[in-house]
Each structure stands twice: as C-alpha cells, then as structure tokens.
C-alpha cells in the first residue's frame, strides 16, 4: 500500500505543479490526470491554500493532515465555478489512492461527490474536464464494493447534470442497476428517477430501460417513474408501434399484477384509436386480477374508434360476455359505464345484457345498468321490452320503477308496452301511476 506523504514532503508540490495531489498523499490516476489537464494553470493552488490554512491555525508542517481537516478543507474549497479544485476532488474518488480506508475513506469520497455536485453545474458545456467528471460519477455509481449511500450520491449527481451531455452515462447507470436483481430498493428507485429526468420523445433506449423498471412489484414509486418516462418517450398517440407491442407483451406476460395494470393503462393512453392495443385489452379482460381487467375495460373505451371495425366487434362481444359472467361488482360497473359509449343506440344484445343487471344484487350495478339503458334503449326493441315487462312484477319496488321509466324509451303506440303503462296509470299504486303517466308522454 502506498504511504501517505508528510507535509514536509508536500512543500515541494509548489515546485512540481504537475502533481498537486502530493499534499494529500494522492498519486494521480488516469481520470484524475485528465481532469487536471483541463483545469488550467491552477494545479498547485489547493496545496498552497491548505498550507496557508495550517499556518493560520498554528500547525507545523511536520504534522500530518487529518481526514477531518481534509474534509473540512474540501467543503470550504468547493466554491461554485472554481475548476482548480476539481483534480484533487476527483482523485479522492479513487478508493485505492486516497490514503485512507474504512469509514474515513467513505466519508471522504462522499464529500468529494458532493463537492463535484456543487462545482460542475456552473461550468460551460465545453469545459475540458467535463467528460472525465461524468466518467468518474458513472464509475462510482456502478461500484459493487461502494456503500449504497455513496452510490446514491453519485447517481443523484449524474441525474442533476444528465441534461448536459451526460445522457449516456446516466442511462448506462440506470440500466445496469435495473438489470441487477440484487440492487437495493433505494438504488432502483434512484435509477427510475434518472430515467424520468433524461426521457425525451422517441428515445428508444430510455423507453426500454423504463419498461424494465415497470415490471416491478414492490415499488410503486419506481413504477411511477417508469410510467412518466414511457409517456415522454412515446410521443403523440399511436406513433410508437414497437412500444405498444412491448406494453401489450408486458400486460399479457408479467407475473406481477401491478405491472400488468400499469401496462394496460398506458396502452389505453398511447395506442392509436382502433389499433392493435384493442386486441391486447380484449385479451386482458380475462386477467385473474380484477384491477387489471377493469383497466382493460377502460382501455377498450379509450381506444374505440369513430368507425368501429371487426376487431372492435370482437372486443364488444367480449365486454358483453364479461358483463354476463363477471363475479366482481366493480368489474360489472366498469363494463356498464363503458358500453353506452361504444354501441350508441340500437345494439339489442348489449342492451339486453345491461337489462339483465337491473335486478343485480349490488345496488351500484343496478343503478349503472339503469343509466346505461337510458342511453342505449331504442324505441321498438321488442326483446328489451319483453324483459322490462317481466320486471314490472319484480318484488323489488325500485326495479319496478326503473322498468316503468325505461318502457317509455322502448315502447310504441299501440304495442304491449303502452298497454302495460296505461294499466299502471289507472292502478292503485300512486307512485307507479305517476311514473307510468310520465313514460306515456314520451311515446
């Protein structure tokens, strides 16, 4: 191991400005040397400042410089825009050359990264040491042996400077961390925040990394970062078919319901109307997770085109089948909310499926069915009329009242529905008589 230099040896640093790090017992590594070359003629200034400070504090040059004094000096020296401090700070990031070990080494390296975070943003884009600084931060962020706090600090520094030509380094760090199944939660979350920060429209590589982050079960915050990055990368609706295909694959194959849910939500927002995402949404109606199936229903509603095609017919019949068979009341309500927007008026099969839910055991489903029928009913629909006439004898008065109201939407003059309404208007139940009279006025 290299020996730390004594302050008495360090005085010669003024005579050898090409090695200004001798003051701290640091021998310049390649990255640090490239920084020093770009730092201009100020290489020995930091050494002189430290020696002056020691003298002001009545310290002799025979005393060693402690780690606490080194840290304090770095913090005071890291003034925004003074690039003469960068070489020494960068050298401290090399763990094998810092002259310290253990917790002291970690603390020194943390201070060095924080100092770079303060210094670098003030430099112009053409600063010669810019590339080397990015490389150093990338290296520390990916160190397996580094403590997590140090890696997180480096990641945050990369994120802050990522918009200034550090896109590739930031993306590399994020992608490597997300691929590492042993990476901790905080590191993965930091990687996700980088993706959100560097995402721009049509950035395929960032989108691929975000898809990796989206397939996550335990971190809602990481999935949120991934969703935002994907939305940014996707651009206008329907302009990223490869991304739609990847989201459809994720919605179908991910083992995590949370990931399938987010993928389905994104499909409904990013796919073109009537696109292939409609088929993926129809397939997801059978998802074993209720929330994913609900998201698929909403996605179909969001993707429905002005002029429906064959794929839309398949999706519609899948929704009707789901309404008839779904055990979840929330899922039945979702279908009933979407159906009227898809079929308009005149789709008898959809109306009958909604009519079958008027007597649903869940009052919210029954109310949703009534609301849907008010929008879907078509005058002269005999099959729906027959169903409503049967409801007039239902034991639940509320179901009877809804049936009376809806008969006013489907019945015609002289048909069985009008005759039933006239009978109710003349009947003993005053409330039903008023409703029947109102329905007759609609004929």
Distance CA 365, CA 334 (A): 9
**Which residues, in sequence order, are CB contacts of 243 under 8 Å at separation 6+?**
207, 230, 233, 234, 270
pLDDT at 30: 43
> What are the pLDDT digits (tens) for 254-300?
999 999 999 999 999 999 988 888 889 999 999 999 999 999 999 99
Angle, helices 204-214/220-234, rounded to nearest 10 degrees: 150
Contact criterion met (CB below 8 Å) for 108 and 100: yes
Least Cα distance to 23 among 126, 94, 99 occurs for 99
pLDDT at 34: 41
Distance CA 259, CA 211 (A): 10
To the nearest 10°, the Cα dihedral for 304, 388, 384, 329? 30
Distance CA 308, CA 55 (A): 84
pLDDT at 37: 42
Distance CA 353, CA 363 (A): 16
pLDDT at 286: 93
Rounded alpha-carbon distances, angstroms, from residue 215 to 148, 224, 247, 343: 23, 11, 10, 34
Contact criterion met (CB below 8 Å) for 96 and 40: no
pLDDT at 82: 58
pTM for this predicted structure: 0.76
List, for the chain, all residue ranges whose pLDDT scores fall below the cut of 70. 1-85, 87-88, 91-92, 94-102, 120-127, 145, 163-164, 344-346
């Amino acid at each position: 191991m290299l020996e730390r230099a004594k302050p008495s040896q360090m005085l010669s640093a003024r005579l050898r400005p090409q090695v200004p790090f001798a003051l701290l017992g640091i021998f310049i590594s390649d990255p640090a040397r490239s920084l020093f070359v770009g730092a201009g003629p100020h290489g020995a200034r930091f050494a002189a400042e430290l020696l002056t400070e020691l003298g002001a504090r009545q310290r002799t040059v025979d005393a060693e410089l402690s780690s606490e004094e080194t840290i304090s000096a770095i913090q005071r020296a890291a003034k925004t825009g003074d690039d003469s401090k960068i070489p020494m700070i960068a050298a401290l990031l090399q763990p094998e050359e810092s002259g310290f070990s253990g917790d002291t080494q970690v603390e020194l390296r943390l201070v060095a990264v924080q100092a770079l975070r303060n210094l670098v943003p003030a430099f112009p884009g053409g600063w010669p040491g810019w590339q080397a600084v990015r490389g150093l931060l990338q290296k520390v962020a990916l160190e397996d042996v580094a403590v997590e706090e140090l890696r997180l600090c480096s990641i945050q520094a990369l994120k802050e400077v990522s918009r200034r030509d550090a896109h590739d380094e930031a993306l590399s760090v994020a992608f490597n961390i997300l691929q590492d199944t042993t990476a901790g939660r905080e590191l993965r979350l930091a990687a996700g925040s980088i993706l959100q920060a560097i995402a721009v429209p049509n950035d395929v590589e960032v989108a691929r990394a975000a898809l990796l982050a989206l397939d996550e079960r335990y971190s809602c915050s990481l999935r949120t970062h991934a969703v935002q990055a994907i939305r940014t990368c996707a651009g206008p609706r329907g302009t990223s078919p490869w991304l739609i295909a990847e989201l459809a694959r994720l919605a179908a194959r991910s083992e995590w319901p949370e990931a399938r849910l987010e993928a389905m939500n994104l499909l409904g927002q990013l796919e073109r109307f009537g696109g292939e995402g409609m088929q993926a949404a129809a397939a997801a109606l059978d998802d074993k997770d209720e929330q994913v199936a609900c998201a698929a229903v909403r996605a179909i509603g969001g993707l429905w085109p002005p002029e429906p095609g064959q794929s839309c017919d398949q999706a519609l019949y899948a929704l009707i089948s789901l309404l008839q068979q779904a055990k979840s009341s929330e899922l039945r309500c979702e279908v009933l909310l979407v159906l009227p927007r898809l079929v308009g008026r005149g789709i008898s099969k959809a109306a009958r499926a909604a009519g079958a839910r008027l007597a649903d055991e869940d009052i919210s489903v029954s109310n949703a069915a009534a609301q849907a029928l008010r929008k879907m009913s078509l005058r002269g629909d005999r099959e729906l009329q027959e169903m409503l006439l049967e409801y007039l004898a239902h034991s639940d008065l509320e179901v009877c009242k809804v049936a009376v109201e809806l008969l006013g939407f489907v019945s015609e003059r002289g048909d069985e529905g009008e005759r039933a309404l006239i009978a109710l208007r003349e009947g003993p139940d005053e409330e039903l008589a008023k409703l029947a009279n109102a329905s007759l006025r609609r004929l």
